[in-house]
Amino acid sequence: MLRVVVMVSGGGTNLQAIIDAVNTGDITNTEIVAVISNNYDVYALERAKKAGIEDVVVSPKDYSDRAKFNEALLDKVDSYNPDLIVLAGFLVVIPEAMIDKYENKIINIHPSLIPSFCGTGYYGLKVHEAALERGVKLTGATVHYVDKGTDTGPIIMQKAVEVKEGDTPEILQRRVMEEAEWKLLPAAINKIANNK
């Protein structure tokens, strides 16, 4: 069984897609051992609770400086002895010590076709705003391994999504989630869990 820790910062629709895929058997050989959030007040924590998964908050607000927060975050992750750490809308920069310790064991979902619209400042709705501003006709999502850069690690899977006339960032975000993210992230986890 692949022991997976999912890290979240918001609504947790990608977390939900993973939970659902484990329940339906689309992901096999996998146990979600914990959900870690950097925010207290997020719906992702409710989703974990409803699924009977241990949920925990490690918030920078509870620590006097970043180094102490980073240390606490790594300690918490270590406590679950994970085989894979999934960043599912986790909007905190991962501490270097964690990247060193979990080399090739951290994956991230990003809502564009990397290397487009990625890197510092590109997250959530901002990605789709930038894509629409540039006038791209095709966007999508990417699952990649996390290295020390921002969105620079090796790509595992990508899926393209069409941009349509009249799209707003919100409409485009929803389509990218439905057509790409919620399928891609479970598929990538299943692939890793089954050594494919």
* Interface with ligand GAR in residues 137-176 (CB under 6 A): none
Q: How many whole angstroms separate alpha carbon 3 and alpha carbon 25? A: 16
| Active-site option among 47, 110, 144, 175 | 110
CA distance 126 to 89: 13
Residue type, 147: D
Give phi and psi for 35, each to the nearest 5: -120, 125
Extract the tokens encoding 4.
Answer: 């997976």
Rule CB under 6 A: is residue 89 a binding residue for ligand GAR? yes
* Residue 123 sits in the site that holds ligand GAR (CB under 6 A): yes
Identity of the residue, 14 or 30, whose beta carbon is nearer to ligand GAR in the bound complex: 14
Specify the residue, 8 or 35, whose C-beta has the smaller distance to ligand GAR.
8
Helices (H) and strands (E) in the chain, counts: 7, 7
Considering the complex, what minimum distance in angstroms separates the CB of residue 148 from ligand GAR?
Answer: 15
Q: Is 10 in the site for ligand GAR (CB under 6 A)?
A: yes
The total of other beta-carbon atoms located within 10 Å of residue 7's CB is 26
Beta bridge partners of 158: 142
Quick one: which of 27, 70, 84, 111 contacts ligand GAR (CB under 6 A)?
A: 111
Residue 144 a catalytic site member: no
**Active centre residues (catalytic):** 110
Interacting residues toward ligand GAR by CB under 6 A: 8, 10-14, 44, 88-89, 109-111, 123-124, 127, 177, 181
